[in-house]
Amino acid sequence: MDRLRITGQTPLSGSVKISGAKNAALPILFASILSKEKSVIKNIPLLADINTTLRVLDALGLKTLFKLDDHTIEIDGSSLNSLEAPYELVRTMRASVLVLGPLLARNGEARVSLPGGCAIGARPVNYHLTAFERMGAKFDIEGGYIHGKAPNGLKGAFVRLPFPSVGATENTLMGAVLADGDTLIQNAAREPEIADLARALRSMGAKIEGEGTSNIQVKGVSELKGMNHSVSPDRVEAFTFLASGLITRGKVTVEGIDATYLQSALELLTQAGAKITNTPNSVTAEFVKDLTKVSFTTEPFPGFPTDMQAQFMALLTQAKGTSHISETIFENRFMHVPELVRLGAKIQIKGNQATVEGPTPLSGATVMATDLRASASLIIAGLAAKGDTLLRRIYHLDRGYEQIEQKLSQLGAKIVREHEK
């Protein structure tokens, strides 16, 4: 098991290049299943979840080549010879459920292990299944597997999502592009990763309109050519570095991303007293005065993203006053709180509401990562804490952040990876 040792209270400064977005790369890689030809996907982040995705594609028989130095993956879609995403892979990465749409669309059948719950919530996939049933698929759930069949292929349909689910929107979109007829996805998720997936599908010849709005229209086509696409930047990684700069009273620029990916977050950082400036391809957050309290609720895009909640909470432990945070997307996404309290934070939880008193002096301690974004929250707090913070179980972190300790060191942070005996 690895752990990170963070020695706090060094102001961060400088600029850091943002990697491709994990939450765009995963669906885009699965979309390559839709074509029998070769797909080339660039700006892939070097993450554990990408490796897991490649193992799922390998299990389906597709030949994959990851050119690490170029951050590029080539996938040969011609050799699909299985329809099953196995349990041991799906349980390590629930996004594997995104093979459902492509497999049903291409071969009219799929067997995918039920993902099971995860640290932050039950995370059912009922919206995905209901959408495909509207498109003519039938499902049996047996032995912990979803077995879906659409023997005559998927049919275009009117699909209204009960909630703007990111995964359900992506799965439905990938099913619709090869369906027979037109599909309208109403109440679709509007996250930038959806628009990125649509651009990747369009490079294959898909006919899609309205991505980024609540209504996505798709004209099914009979086949798709190989994809040629470069993944959009990771807005959650970018926010993590901006918050790291601010909590250390520094000034950090994230390169390779434009402010539109971070709009709601930048508005709140400004409200808290940060100085935010940007260019068409970068965003800078500068500490210019003591931060003050901010209250927010996590919402579907364009609202404040749940994936940035834990990181912002860490920052608000250093803001003057009482901040109120309401987590409305996942039922259990406050597991970073007890660990932040170990560092000296004053945070109360009541249901899905957290109250943060600030500013509180933080002092280093041994803390434990419980999930991906909680890990980032503890790093941010450790950067402000007096002394050393030891962050354990950082396999959670490696799922979603490429070389985070190298990037933070580049900004002046004292952070090293150690092997625990």
By beta-carbon proximity to ligand EPZ, the closer residue of 165 and 323 is: 165
Site string for ligand EPZ, 140-179 (x = CB under 6 A): -----------------------x-xxxx-----------
Report in angstroms how near the CB of residue 81 gets to ligand EPZ at its nearest.
26
Q: Does 123 bind ligand EPZ (CB under 6 A)?
A: yes
Sequence length of the chain is 421
Cα–Cα distance for residue pair 22/179, rounded to 1 Å: 27
By beta-carbon proximity to ligand EPZ, the closer residue of 54 and 319 is: 54
Is 118 noted as a catalytic residue in this protein? Answer: yes
Both tokens assigned to 101: 């749409």
- Figure out which of the listed residues 51, 78, 79, 126 binds ligand EPZ, where binding follows CB under 6 A: 126
Q: Does 194 bind ligand EPZ (CB under 6 A)?
A: no
For residues 235-254, which are near ligand EPZ according to CB under 6 A?
A: none
Residue nearest to ligand EPZ (CB): 167
Q: E strands of 268-381, at which residues?
A: 275-279, 282-286, 296-297, 321-326, 346-350, 353-358, 366-368
Report in angstroms how near the CB of residue 46 gets to ligand EPZ at its nearest.
16
Q: How far, CA to CA in Å, does 107 sit from each of 33, 150, 184?
A: 10, 8, 22
By beta-carbon proximity to ligand EPZ, the closer residue of 19 and 318 is: 19
For residues 89-108, which are near ligand EPZ according to CB under 6 A?
A: 95
Site string for ligand EPZ, 306-345 (x = CB under 6 A): xx---------------------xx---------------
By beta-carbon proximity to ligand EPZ, the closer residue of 307 and 339 is: 307
Site string for ligand EPZ, 386-405 (x = CB under 6 A): --------------x-----
Catalytic one of 46, 118, 335, 341: 118
- Give the number of other CB atoms < 10 A from CB of residue 392: 19
- Figure out which of the listed residues 116, 124, 302, 361 binds ligand EPZ, where binding follows CB under 6 A: 124
> Contact 309/268 with Cβ under 8 angstroms?
no
Left (φ > 0), alpha (ψ -120 to 50) or beta: where does 221 sit?
beta
In the sheet that holds 321-326, the strands lie side by side as 296-297, 321-326, 353-358, 346-350
Cα–Cα distance for residue pair 224/140, rounded to 1 Å: 28
Contacts of 251 (CB under 8 A, 6+ apart): 12, 13, 245, 284, 285, 286, 287
> Contact 163/330 with Cβ under 8 angstroms?
no
> Contact 227/27 with Cβ under 8 angstroms?
no
By beta-carbon proximity to ligand EPZ, the closer residue of 100 and 362 is: 100
- Give the number of other CB atoms < 10 A from CB of residue 326: 15
For residues 357-386, which are near ligand EPZ according to CB under 6 A?
A: 372-373
**Could you list the residues that contact ligand EPZ (CB under 6 A)?**
22-23, 26, 95, 121, 123-128, 163, 165-168, 306-307, 329-330, 372-373, 400
Q: Write out the catalytic residue numbers.
A: 118
